A = this chain, B = another copy of it.
């Protein structure tokens, strides 16, 4: 995979349709009431502890601006604009002060795959941020196939060392060459624990960040969006907007088996009802797009186990290949639970390519974002598809600079609005982690 950046591209994506007056009102509300909003966020963060880090995938259809996924193990720090790395460093040092002020050494547990150079670049960036925030950082893997330290070369003479983890006196360590060991004060998970909580993480006396129940073996998208429902309603009630404008409808379905055709009828019914529900809203707002839903593994990540349905029949006519695709996700986990989520048309394009904003946060601070620019996909397709060749387009303007003196679709104002919606999802994640702990 070759990375290609639209280096010279300096403006924000074009919104292909005229924004609906409701969404325009929302963006305008957000920009004009940034004080109230920030004050409201402050009260939220007095009550809830934000996750250590997170990324939120947003979609802007011109009539709707909403999160479609909240990732508690973000994997694209390398896609952020370098200029704003100091913001990440500052935010990371606050996060450390809160969660483990005494920490001096930290061990990052990365994903098990070691061949994705983008991911390795990301790890290198994450390491850099934490080092500059004042931590000694090592990478320890829970991949049982890695028995020796693995030095992986990156571009520009950089490399990262991924080492096997050893459990010793109720703590995780990595061994030093001289026979001593590096014993971290805290463990930072950058592995989403799709399959299980590995036993090596049990009964250790080090702080694990985020907690293991943030992993996909226990976490469910539907639960997250239930929490998001509540947050979106609270935000809507004080801003006086229709919560649907910032919240995709969804349904949950359990007990599925795509191979055995088990649960197909129920899926059909739920998809049909959801499409009707969306259509009703489209009619209310005179939106002429075709409604669609996205069916995703409820515990899925990496854009695996995802399909689109524009009519309920779509879920019945799956061929063998599609069935296979929906049945298993990362590391071979079987899909039996899905979220059926209202699809949000991507109406942002860069040079004709559909784009999706991704917002990055450390603690409760928006530290930046980037666009996933996809040159081969349609606007109603999933942009986080397996093996996707997206071009990351870093936000070159901070998300912290609302400017009432400028139009609300000004770059800084739009990014501020994105940061606000992403933080709503972050509050949902914070409450979710709290209640599951």
CB closest chain-B residue, reference A404: B131
Chain A residues with CB under 8 Å of chain B are 34-39, 41-43, 45-46, 83-87, 89-91, 93-94, 96-97, 101-102, 104, 131-136, 365, 398, 400-402
Instruction: Decide: B401 and A134 in contact? CB cutoff 8 A.
Output: no
CB closest chain-B residue, reference A368: B86
Bound CA–CA A80/B400 (angstroms): 17
Instruction: Decide: A101 and B35 in contact? CB cutoff 8 A.
Output: no
| Chain B residues closer than 8 Å to A36, beta-carbon distance | 104
Tell me the smallest distance from the CB of A46 to a CB of chain B, in Å. 5
| Chain B residues closer than 8 Å to A86, beta-carbon distance | 84, 87, 398, 400-401
Taking the full assembly, how many copies of this chain does it contain?
A: 2
Bound CA–CA A203/B102 (angstroms): 39
Bound CA–CA A46/B135 (angstroms): 17
Instruction: Decide: A91 and B93 in contact? CB cutoff 8 A.
Output: no
Bound CA–CA A332/B39 (angstroms): 41
| Chain B residues closer than 8 Å to A90, beta-carbon distance | 87, 90-91, 365, 400
| Chain B residues closer than 8 Å to A41, beta-carbon distance | 134
Instruction: Decide: B94 and A94 in contact? CB cutoff 8 A.
Output: yes
| Chain B residues closer than 8 Å to A87, beta-carbon distance | 86-87, 90
CB closest chain-B residue, reference A39: B104
Instruction: Decide: A101 and B135 in contact? CB cutoff 8 A.
Output: no
Q: State which of B34, B46, B85 has its C-beta within 8 Å of the C-beta of A134.
A: B34
**Residue among A85, A86, A134, A136 with max Cβ neighbours from chain B (10 Å):** A86
Instruction: Decide: B38 and A133 in contact? CB cutoff 8 A.
Output: yes
Tell me the smallest distance from the CB of A156 to a CB of chain B, in Å. 11
* Known A35-B134, A35-B136: A42·B96 in contact at CB below 8 Å: yes
Q: State which of B85, B132, B365 has its C-beta within 8 Å of the C-beta of A34.
A: B132
Instruction: Decide: B400 and A132 in contact? CB cutoff 8 A.
Output: yes
Tell me the smallest distance from the CB of A77 to a CB of chain B, in Å. 15
Instruction: Decide: B133 and A85 in contact? CB cutoff 8 A.
Output: no
| Chain B residues closer than 8 Å to A398, beta-carbon distance | 85-86, 89
